[in-house]
Amino acid sequence: MSRSPHEKYERVVTKLAQSAAQDFRRSTSAQELRAALCRYLRRGATAGFSTGELVDFLGVSSPSVLEQAGYSEQQAEEAMRVLATISDEEIRSAEV
């Protein structure tokens, strides 16, 4: 039985979120957080998601990727502030 487009979409979102949450849990410095954000954005774009969707998954929808990573509200707010400062070039050059 083949999956519906919605089921495929949900599966890709879940996989991206789980992978990113693991990456964010391992990020213990500001530099590592920035790198994890770049990797997340690059992987998400490669999977076909828009920047708006990725921002939503990261910190708006519930449970967000940052919630799944165990981030406190303060840590999540800091991650979103850092996210706003990331350039397209940083995302393109991120190693995934």
**Torsion angles phi and psi, residue 70, rounded to 5:** 85, 15
Residue 50 in tokens: 């828009």
Domain count across the chain: 1
Q: What is the pTM of this model?
A: 0.93
What's the pLDDT at 3? 79
Condensed to tens digits (0 to 9), the pLDDT of residues 57-72 reads 999 999 999 999 999 9
* Residue range(s) defining the domain that contains residue 66: 5-93
* Residue spans of alpha helices (H) in the chain: 5-26, 30-46, 51-55, 65-68, 73-83, 88-93
Q: Identify the band that residue 90 occupies on the pLDDT scale cut at 50, 70 and 90.
A: very high
CA end-to-end span of the chain: 32
